[in-house]
Structure 1
């Protein structure tokens, strides 16, 4: 059966949309009429002539969040482990989804599986939603007849990724809110409050203190050009992001980031933890080491570190041990190299890679906690100093006037 997208009118004349499975569009139209719906448009979900629908599905697939992927994988892993037929599992996942794009995607996957294709082949229709690592693990699980355990590992992996991303987002919320409030308060003071207060000194013939003169200049500048500065900032950010789309410029930017003291440690810890975790779960699923190294390297976000992982893959392919190949690159943490060497010696490489990833994630969490702990009081002190400067710039002329009166 094939998944079809439809548009139909209900008894009240309202347009409704959805996805149905059927052998043909004629059968789907008949099903809609049985539900008291008048079909307006019916087309295959994979080939919707309103290419707009197809574009919306592809747009969504590129942005399938870690939360949606984790939930989908957990549901599928649970259903497959209960020994239900795979097409029924996919149908159940589609029925449970509240998002039309996910429902349509899973129905298309089910259609391919019902036609006799493997699950990995069916997932290849959506490479943006299901990454290469995801598909490689599913393929390895199907070939080994261990799809249920592999899906369980994938569910755990995606849930861990979601949990890590949520912790990082929660850690960054307070600093960004603090910065936004600081910028808003200072801008309001400079644009609305300061001009009113300094207006009382306009008729005074006495020279104003340099601090007050500077404050008035900044206030006038912000009142006249604040909007233009904001537009220029937005345009600059958009231009910068566009420039980074070029691989050469993005690589030079990543090289610069790795040279920034303190930031290098955080970036290396993030990517090395992601590399070790991905490599561990791929090898545990039966993916060959060379193929697993290539996929794990692609998971890394920094292009410089990704090139280092590609060099490691070439060295291993030429006969070097994984620990020796990692030690030749300066980016991978020494603790990770030693744990990989221990895993190779004991024949338990997957477990040691997993422990290395956990150590890196723990170290990263502690580092980010320290940075956030220092940033918050530093921001409060900076804000206090800025407000103190504004207050002094306003009070100094008042003190001078009191002196003149006496």
Structure 2
């Protein structure tokens, strides 16, 4: 028996499992709105000065360190021969993907990336403005809510013991509280129900809502005008565009809208009735598609319409943001009046009982 035993190397030990899958197979999170805006704007800028898409992504890999994992995945897809839209599909929402896909197939990628970058950046800034506008009024409303609870738990019982008669919060106060509770329950139930509806029906219902409805109409007006304009500019006829949209994913609004239009036309009805049946479809579509113009002329009209609607969309949103604080301060004023009445009316009854 040998005096010295050959030692076998100890097995390596790690506290955490190592991800040995290739980079192209690892799960990478979606791009946030701010990150997507930065990436699209940067790519649009470098493409407009003569960079190729691969060179632009290499440049973005250096300039945007937070998006490096996503950019690596996109570059891996491009090396495999996939289109840019396919490469970025998992990192953006479905509507954004189809906008990029249509633009790339029709040579308008730079312009659409510019629009998307601007849209997402402005949207992010507007969300920050809304949060800043809501912060102070909501803090005041929270303090008023605490004050209401303090009145019910501390002041009203004191008045009751002082007058030896039971003092209640005014009936209108309970009615207001009950109404607000019912409204919150209805809004929550409606939101859950809406989340289980097809995408097209959600868009239709959303376009009827009082405040966000006009914004949704303008957004879909821009989105549909731009994409239809790009498809028609490629030389496709209207029927060919309809068939192409029916090959898209069933979850997309473009596919669901194309299927609905196909059923509508097969039933022998005209386009004008279809446009009138969907609140978010612009009436200009009836003019553009029914006047007998060529596909190229219709494409020019749709692109011009999309450009004008794009500007109107953000102007409308800015105007809405300006109304947020005045409306909330009006609600705060009504709440303050209600709190004063909830204190003074029981005190009035207590003094009347003493006299």
Shorter-chain TM-score category?
A: 0.5 to 0.7
Distance 1:160 1:326 in 2: 33
Q: Does 1:189 align with 2:147?
A: yes
Contact 1:175 1:376 in 2 (8 A): yes
Indicate whether 1:351 and 2:300 are aligned: yes
- Cα distance, 1:390 vs structure 2: 1.6
Q: Structure 2: any 5+ residue segments left out of the alignment?
A: 1-14
RMSD: 4.9
Choose which of 231, 238, 246 in structure 1 pairs with 2:196. 246
Equivalent pair of 1:74/1:155 in contact (CA under 8 Å): yes
Q: Of the candidates 114, 120, 128, which is equivalent to residue 90 of structure 2?
A: 128
Distance in 1 of aligned mates of 2:74 and 2:226: 27
1 CA distance for matches of 2:346 and 2:19?
75
Whole-angstrom distance in 2 between the partners of 1:398 and 1:356: 63
Q: Which one of 98, 104, 108 corresponds to residue 69 of structure 2? A: 104
Task: Find the aligned partners of 2:111 and 2:143 in 1 and give their Cα distance.
Answer: 48
Q: Say whether the 8 Å CA contact 2:215–2:316 is kept in structure 1.
A: yes
Render the CA deviation track for 1:30-50: whole Å, top value 9, x for unaligned: xxxxxxxxxx76541023xxx
1:396 equivalenced with 2:354 (yes/no) = no
Cα distance, 1:140–1:41 mapped onto 2, change above 3 Å: same
TM-score (norm 1): 0.60
- Structure having the higher strand fraction is 1
Shift of 1:184: 0.9
Residues 76 and 340 (structure 1), Cα distance of their counterparts in 2 relative to 1, 3 Å cut: same
Match of 2:36 in 1: 69
Q: Identify if the C-alpha distance between structure 1 residues 281 and 397 changes in structure 2 by more than 3 Å, giving closer, same or farther.
A: same
Q: Which deviations, in whole Å up to 9, do the C-alpha atoms of 1:224-276 show, x marking residues without a partner?
A: xxxxx9xxx79x94x7666545345x666655545556765443333122211
Structure 2 Cα separation of the partners of residues 343 and 111 of structure 1? 45
Q: Is the 8 A contact 1:74 1:152 kept in 2?
A: no
The answer on whether the counterparts of 1:254 and 1:302 sit within 8 Å (CA) in structure 2 is no
Q: Deviations over 1:108-143 (max 9, x none)?
A: 43345445x2x51x65244232513313432443xx
> Partner of 1:344: helix, strand, or coil?
coil
Q: Specify whether residues 334 and 71 from structure 1 end up closer, same or farther in structure 2 by C-alpha distance, changes over 3 A only.
A: same
Say yes or no: does 1:138 pair with 2:138: no
Q: Say which is worse superposed, 130-139 or 255-264, in terms of deviation.
A: 255-264
Hey, what does 1:44 align to over in structure 2? 22
Shift of 1:187: 1.9
Contact 1:133–1:295 (Cα < 8 Å) also in 2:
no
Deviations 1:169-219 (A, max 9, x none): 25643664366335412321122354222243132345466655776x79x
How far apart are residue 306 of structure 1 and its match? 6.9
Question: Structure 1 residues 404, 106: closer, same or farther in 2, change over 3 A?
Answer: closer
TM-score of the superposed pair, with normalisation by structure 2: 0.67
Are 2:160 and 2:166, in contact at CA under 8 Å, matched by a contact in 1? no
Paired residues for 1:166-181 under 5 Å: 166=124, 168-170=126-128, 172-173=130-131, 176-177=134-135, 180-181=138-139
What is the SS of the residue equivalent to 2:113?
Answer: helix
Distance across 1 between alignment mates of 2:159 and 2:171: 11
Indicate the SS of the match to 1:329.
Answer: helix
**Unaligned runs of at least 5 residues, structure 1:** 1-14, 16-39, 48-53, 142-149, 223-228
Q: Which has the higher contact order (CA 8 A, sep 6+)?
A: 2
